[in-house]
Amino acid sequence: MSRQSDAKKARRKKRKAVQRLPADQDYNAIGDAVAELDDWLAERGWVLDDDTVANLVSWVYPPSAVDGGDENAERVTRMWITVAENDEEVVLEFGALLVGAGGGDEAYVLDPANLAHDVAALEAYRPGLERPELR
């Protein structure tokens, strides 16, 4: 595939992965869903990150952590959800970075429908391995 078609495919995947909800969506329902996801991730060894704020929920996977190496590289695999709102909708975006990712590496855009598969692939990755193909 050409770079142009690869880029087009990546943009399409990102658009599909974004969860769009009506602006009047019950925030309690969103909070409950995030809490349920947090429980599921905690059972798998993920830890809620200290960087979590009002519009960003972030988790790290401590078993993937590395010491030393490039100080600009990601030290642990991380996953997050961002929340943005406008007058018409609430947008939830799911993303991830692999341990060892540097400035030139793009974050994954995760599709919530494939989260179980993708989380397993993220957990299995270690530096030096080929980047996993996520669904």
Predicted TM-score (pTM) of the model is: 0.75
Show the 3-state SS of the chain: CCHHHHHHHHHHHHHHHCEEEECCCCHHHHHHHHHHHHHHHHHCCCEECCCCECCEEEEEEHHHCCCCCCCCCCCCEEEEEEEEECCCEEEEEEEEECCCCCCCCCCEEECHHHHHHHHHHHHHCCCCCCCCCCC
**Mean of per-residue pLDDT scores for the chain:** 80
Confidence of residue 26 (pLDDT cuts 50, 70, 90): low
Least confident of 19-23, 41-45, 76-80: 19-23
Each residue of 77-106: pLDDT tens digit?
999 998 877 777 777 889 999 998 877 788
pLDDT at 44: 96
Percent of the chain with pLDDT over 90: 35
Mean pLDDT of 54-70: 87
